[in-house]
Amino acid sequence: MLSVAIIVPLLAAIALLAMPRDRPELARRTAFGVSLVPLALIVAAWVRFQGGPGFEMVESHAWIPSIGVSYQVGLDGLSLPLVALTALLFSASIIFPVDLRGRARQYYAAFLFLEGASLGLFLALDLILFFVFFDLSLVGMYFLIAIWGHGNAHRSALKFFVYTLVGSLSLLLGILGIYLNSGDQRTFDMIDIITNQPLPTTGLAPVLIFWAIALGFMIKTPLAPFHTWLPSAHVDAPAPASTILAGVLLKMGTYGFVRILLQMMPETFGRFSLPIAIIAVISIVYGALVAMAQTNLKRLVAYTSVNHMGYVILGVAVAANIGASEGARSLALTGATIEMVAHGLITGAMFLLTGSVLARGKTFEMDEYGGLAARAPALTGAMILAAFASLGLPGLAGFVAEFQIFAGTLGVYPWLAGTGLLGIVITAALFLRMVQKVFLGPLPERWSEWTDLGGWELAAIVPMLILVVVIGIAPAWLVNVVDSATRVMTGG
């Protein structure tokens, strides 16, 4: 089942390239239909999920036996919500209308290729397989920004690729370090390493391995000061690619922090939990302050991702503090995982909405707008709902995640929790300012013919916002799945 979810979009990407050039609508409908296959399979996997202490639905085959590399996939309470988020965001992004520049087949093929690579990464249970999908995701996103982006798209795509490639090379060095230090039976098997903990806990080797991998994931997440590739990539990418970049690709870094550093090197991570938590809080405050200073709507949303990824890493760092109470660590890690899902839904929807604004107004500059609520109630309502969810309003998904992160952090690093709360206050101010500038006040004459969201735009955005509300009001169905993994990781 899980392999089918990975392989179907990859094969369909190849098949799309062979379709007639003059049938863009056929390519779109085919790509959307294919994207529903992984979504249906993940929903079925969620129904079958038992929530036990280990991995479920594991599929394993020898790949490069001479060095112990295998094709091995499976899921647990950490990866299941992320693959479900991935499948949903790809379906929503594919049906969202964009300017295809006469290259419909290639556009949808790039999306399906990226979907297969993204699902493969979250399901991989072999370190080399994880790394392969990690690098393939860079290729898919590079072409989506460079070919279908706007502004200085080629420069932004190159900057994105070079930065994250440096991160992937650092990750590869760390993975090789794990392999060479995993005892006599050297292995890339993630289940084996998590279960038997073969890595040394003292000496120079675990320190170098930890920071090599951490650097790769800090760039991918990204955390300040490794975030400089992010704003330009978002601003110049087409809206659906921004949704995937924020909703899926950034989660590869935060997921890696948990799956590899926390689960495979818990004692070493425990030694460095405080400096990682400090970097996270710097990202929270810095991301919020810089977002506050933006006049460009999409750049503002992009910087809030730096802020929100700081929340996630703060929760993971708290969970890594072995000396803290198990309850606080478990609470913080559950909140961090739910924040990954909540941010994907909320910010993913916001990036699609910025695409709708650009398609009609041809600019992201907020000073050019005002009073759009009078002409576009659906656009206004969706953006306000997403903004309130992003700033952590109770009853919405962001609150569920951030409450658990800060509740757990208060029990371990209360001074960091207090500092990080500043980020929520600043985020609230910047989103209220954005809503006031763009949607409230008098409507400029030039926007008198402004049109509201169309059917395909609503079809892409509404399911994401419905989930934001459902998670906020009744989060138990998600919390229970995540708890099944985080309790095992923290002993809580």
Sign of the torsion angle spanned by Cα atoms 365, 371, 376, 379 = positive
Instruction: Tell me 444's DSSP state.
Output: P
pLDDT value of position 325: 85
Q: Which residue has the tokens 């080399």?
A: 128
- Confidence check: pLDDT of 22 > 90: no
Closest Cα to residue 247, out of 26, 84, 72?
84
pLDDT, tens digit, 9 for 90 and up, residues 239-285: 999 999 999 999 999 999 999 999 999 999 999 999 999 999 999 99
Q: How far from the centroid of its chain's Cα atoms is residue 339's Cα? A: 10
Q: How far apart are CA 16 and CA 188, in angstroms?
A: 34
pLDDT value of position 100: 86
pLDDT, tens digit, 9 for 90 and up, residues 24-73: 889 999 999 999 999 999 999 999 999 888 899 999 999 988 888 999 99
Q: What is the mean pLDDT of the chain?
A: 93
pLDDT value of position 313: 96
The number of beta carbons lying within 10 Å of the beta carbon of residue 474 is 11
Residue of 235 and 318 predicted with greater confidence: 318
Is 174 in contact with 213 (CB distance < 8 Å)?
Answer: yes
Q: How far apart are CA 307 and CA 224, in angstroms?
A: 9
pLDDT, tens digit, 9 for 90 and up, residues 374-408: 999 999 999 999 999 998 899 999 999 999 999 99
Name, in order, each residue with C-beta under 8 angstroms of 53's C-beta and a sequence gap of 6 or more. Answer: 484, 488
Vertex 342, ends 11 and 174: CA angle to 5°? 65
pLDDT, tens digit, 9 for 90 and up, residues 150-169: 888 999 999 999 999 999 99
pLDDT value of position 206: 94
Closest Cα to residue 387, out of 426, 427, 357, 360?
427
pLDDT value of position 51: 85
Q: How far apart are CA 159 and CA 153, in angstroms?
A: 10
Residue 240, helix vs strand vs coil: helix
Average pLDDT rounded to a whole number, residues 85-106: 93
Rounded percentage of the chain residues whose pLDDT exceeds 70: 100
Name, in order, each residue with C-beta under 8 angstroms of 378's C-beta and a sequence gap of 6 or more. Answer: 452, 453, 458
Q: Alpha helices, DSSP H only, in 76-149?
A: 79-95, 104-123, 127-148
Average pLDDT rounded to a whole number, residues 343-358: 95
Residue 188, helix vs strand vs coil: coil
Q: How far apart are CA 284 and CA 228, in angstroms?
A: 15
- Confidence check: pLDDT of 492 > 80: no
Residue 200, helix vs strand vs coil: coil
Q: How far apart are CA 365 and CA 375, in angstroms?
A: 18
pLDDT value of position 463: 96
| Residue 362, token pair as written in the block | 């041809």
Q: How far apart are CA 75 and CA 57, in angstroms?
A: 7
The number of beta carbons lying within 10 Å of the beta carbon of residue 283 is 30
The top-scoring range by mean pLDDT among 109-113, 185-189, 325-329 is 109-113
Name, in order, each residue with C-beta under 8 angstroms of 204's C-beta and a sequence gap of 6 or more. Answer: none
Q: How far apart are CA 220 and CA 210, in angstroms?
A: 15
pLDDT, tens digit, 9 for 90 and up, residues 410-454: 989 999 999 998 988 999 999 999 999 999 989 988 998 899 999
Residue 323 pLDDT class (50, 70, 90 cuts): confident
Q: What is the largest CA-CA distance in the chain?
A: 74
